[in-house]
Structure 1
């Protein structure tokens, strides 16, 4: 007759058997509480031994440090998002306050540069009859229009080989390109290019939620030009 459990003559238990026993007998450390103070276990960062109770305290401290790190990271992210939201609101207020519609493209580009401390902002517009054929309304190639139409979300990265980068006076270390369109499924009416000397500011792994909001607000502002 065979059995999976250890017999009365067994003198050695495997680690799995010990673990199973402790799981099945949760009252063990209640009836043998002295083991917490006397049972030696290896120190996680050294060769010496410590009591089981000390090891438990050490583990809890490690977890607390991890939780504190995560909490600080969340607080920092919240602080950054709050700052961006404030700047976004100030930029939006600036657009709403502009009464001369011909100045709206400049308010979009210059306002972004000032509110978000950007090195440079490039902007070109098309399919808007009220925009002069110079400056923000200067002609762009069909490649630029096709590329902009293909962007469903803003582009972020460090590739500076795009034609639109030439709208900036200096080559940035990272850039974001935001398509402008009246509605999500409609053809583009322009492209915003944000340039930064910081290679990480518009890194490819960055989220684009705020950039999408900028694109939506700028597009809504330009609707005033189309309506005129």
Structure 2
């Protein structure tokens, strides 16, 4: 290999395959200077390595901070869902559960608009929660195997909200052990980033399970006791 043909890749390969080079040439290692990453001056190789390690440590601190923030947020949401579940369990009159679901979710999650429509619940007839339930709505609910999250896309159920949301979540309500939906829950937000297609739906799934289980109390005959 001649001096003219020596390339940067050749030097890098040589150093990688000869790890003892700098040990054998300690003086060269101590006096070697490299360009500063953000300034025009040169710094020692050791100082450059320290800067690299500090930058990596800073990145790890940001990642850890993000994990702690997310964990704290998840803990708050879990507590909120627990409080919501307790409120529904404490409701003596099952016919009040639909209104309770809408009111409590709005209060607990600070959502400006929420709509709920249910069907096939004999103990809840002639209610505002039975209105505007079309065959296309039922078909949409059957196809909604997981919550929809994202922007408004002319969904028929979004018309229940009154005002067009910047983003929304639509949940098909299915009682435990049943594949047939008994309703749709629509959560609207005036923030475009509140509900996005790439967001996780674990907590929305939990809302589905809790709301559906509570609404199941309305599936019996109209004269049936709430906890019979």
Match of 2:152 in 1: 159
Give the match's secondary structure for 2:26.
coil
State the Cα deviation string for residues 47-71 of structure 1 (Å, max 9, x = none).
3221111110111111111111111
1:208 aligns with 2:177: no
The answer to whether the 8 A contact 2:152-2:158 is kept is no
Instruction: Please identify, of 194-203 and 37-46, the stretch whose mean Cα deviation from structure 2 is larger.
Output: 37-46
TM-score (norm 2): 0.89
Say if 1:132 and 1:138, in contact at 8 Å, map to a contact too.
no
**Are the structure 2 counterparts of residues 121 and 59 from structure 1 closer, same or farther at C-alpha, using a change threshold of 3 Å?**
same
Are 2:91 and 2:97, in contact at CA under 8 Å, matched by a contact in 1?
yes
1:172 aligns with 2:165: yes
Under a length normalisation based on structure 1, what TM-score does the superposition of the two structures give? Answer: 0.89
Give the deviation of 1:98 after TM superposition.
0.9
1:39 match: 32
- Distance in 2 (CA, whole Å) between partners of 1:36 and 1:74 is 39
Equivalent residue for 1:123? Answer: 116
Does the alignment pair 1:55 with 2:45?
no
Distance 1:187 1:73 in 2: 39
CA deviation vs aligned residue, 1:170-191 (integer Å, no higher than 9, x gap): 2211111010012476121000
In the TM superposition, residue 23 of structure 1 has moved relative to its aligned partner by: 2.2
> Runs of 5+ in structure 2 lacking a partner?
none
Superimposed CA distance per residue, residues 179-220 of structure 1 (whole angstroms, 9 cap, x where no aligned partner): 001247612100000111111111222211111110111111
2:179 to 156, 163, 186: 186
Residue 70 of structure 1 corresponds to 63
Indicate the residue corresponding to 1:3 in structure 2.
none
Report the counterpart of residue 14 of structure 2 in structure 1: 21
Counterpart secondary structure, 1:210: helix
* Conservation of the 8 A alpha-carbon contact between 1:133 and 1:139: no
CA distance in 2, matches of 1:184, 1:170: 34
Conserved in 2, the CA contact under 8 Å of 1:35 and 1:52? Answer: no
